[in-house]
Structure 1
Amino acid sequence: MYQRILVPLDGSATAERGLREAIKLASGQPGTTLFFLHVVDDFRMLVEMTSVRSYDEMLKGLRHYGLDVLAKARDAAEQAGVHRESLLREVTNEQVAQVIVDQARQHGCDLIIMGTHGRRGFNRIAMGSEAEQVARTSPVPVLLVRQEA
């Protein structure tokens, strides 16, 4: 059914649920590849607020965190016997949702599976929703996995 599935990961509990669903779906589909994506968002404001040295250290820490998230996802997929690849993207002044959609296009993905907090009301307005933006702009189906109650 689906052959190339993009799974954005940020280390959150909701992303972990999305990962589990992706592995479950892919393990029943021979020839399916999961593309794990972690986006390191280079916060432009932090550059102006911190020294170059502390900014470099912060960025190094964010990269390390992203690589750790991807390694854990690869291990989980490997245990399930699922083919996988991982991508670490660093961005500056880009919307994470757009990066996710662009990566889905670039890698020829036919599905995106990601976790969502399912926020409503003021929390949704204040926090925004990358998942909602991906669902609105993606050229391929998006499976949103809600956080457990």
Structure 2
Amino acid sequence: MYQRILVPIDGSPTARRGLDEAIRLAKLTQGRLRVFHAIDDLSFALAVDAYGYAGDLLKVLRENGDRLLEEARDSAKTAGIGVETVLCDRRSGPVHELVAQEAATWPADLIVLGTHGRRGVGRAIMGSCAEHILRYAPVPVLLVRAPEAQSKPEAEKPLRVHLPTGALAFE
């Protein structure tokens, strides 16, 4: 059961939570991990937009991806888990499709990934990579949510109004 666990990472704290959970699960099942980082068209375009030029940007994105994968590999090895890493820099599609392809090709028994758990406006604006992976995945997916304080930006937290006893209130 769940011997081959695919763990997509992007360097975020929620991705780290997903990796930590995958390590715990692999210990229980005597499984192994494949940690996956993708440089897709969107992340490349956002980086070009942020820096204003492409130049050596792909090289920098690759170096950052290698560093993330090395840190993840070290964490898994320290825990005694078999691990391999994959940097996908083909920029040949959106991340969710690349993850689904990797899961099918390897082949994975399970995908474990962190999610911000965005709702409402935050989800509409930012989208949900985790949701897309869930929809496209050829295998079961375990979503690891960020702690409540991290998963809801201040603007999305419900407004709480304290009224005198006996007054009606809606949250």
Q: TM-score under structure 2 normalisation?
A: 0.79
1:41 equivalent in alignment to 2:26: no
Name the CA shift for 1:79/1:45 in 2 (closer, same or farther; >3 Å): closer
Tell me what 2:77 maps to.
78
Rounded to whole Å, the distance in 1 between the matches of 2:136 and 2:25 is 23
Q: Kindly provide the CA deviation profile for residues 50-109 of structure 1, in whole angstroms up to 9, marking residues without a partner as x.
A: 78xx51321111111100100000000001100001000013351111100110000010
C-alpha contact 2:34 2:86 (8 A) present in aligned 1: yes
Structure number with bigger Rg:
2
CA distance in 2, matches of 1:114, 1:84: 16
Q: Which residue of 2 aligns with 1:124?
A: 123
* 72-81 or 87-96, larger mean C-alpha shift: 87-96
- Listed one character per residue, the Cα deviations across residues 28-47 of structure 1 (whole Å, up to 9, x for unaligned) are 222x1100000012435766
Letter paired with 1:80: A
Gaps of 5+ in 2: 149-171
Is residue 60 from structure 1 mapped to residue 63 from structure 2 by the alignment? Answer: no
> Could you say what secondary structure the match of 1:24 adopts?
helix
Which residue is 2:9 aligned to? 9
> In 2 relative to 1, CA 148–45 (structure 1 residues): closer, same or farther, beyond 3 Å?
closer
Residue in 2 that maps onto 1:134: 133
Q: Provide the rounded CA distance (Å) in 1 between the counterparts of 2:81 and 2:49.
A: 43
Local SS of the residue matching 1:78: helix
Give the unaligned 5+ runs of structure 1.
Answer: none
What is the identity percentage for the equivalent residue pairs of Structure 1 and Structure 2? 47
Question: Alignment partner of 2:55: what SS?
Answer: helix
Q: Which residue of 1 aligns with 2:23?
A: 23
Decide whether the 8 Å contact of 1:7 with 1:22 is kept in 2: yes
Q: State the alpha-carbon separation in 1 of the partners of residues 32 and 140 from structure 2.
A: 16
